[in-house]
Amino acid sequence: MAVLLTVAGVFLGHQAGSSAGERAKARLLLVLPSFDSLPDDDRALLVGLAMTCKLEDRPAQVGEVVTCLRQAATDPHVFLPKGVDKATAPRRLEQLLLRRA
């Protein structure tokens, strides 16, 4: 019985994480339709910002997504990939956002 509950817990946790990731990616695509073709470093930055602001829980509206990412970029506890420091994250985000214009 304990094994069954463990397996069920792992499965449900994976499904929930997968679903959250899909929702976050859908929101990123609203703002940056070229997300999948961006360089790995830029995608890693955006994913870290999305994780920081829990983008998957925000409304799927461009303004909400941009606000979320901007708040994350200045969050003192932001998740950033290697090679990106807290001082450059907001500037890099703004450069990426300009691409959508």
Overall pTM surpassing 0.85 (yes/no)? no
Residue ranges of alpha helices (H) inside 33-88 are 40-52, 62-73
DSSP single-letter state for residue 36:
G
Amino acid at 40: D
Q: How many CB atoms lie within 10 A of CB 31?
A: 21
**Which pLDDT tens digit goes with each residue over 69-80?**
999 999 999 999
What whole-number distance in Å separates Cα of residue 69 and Cα of residue 90? 9
**Which pLDDT tens digit goes with each residue over 47-67?**
999 999 999 999 999 999 999
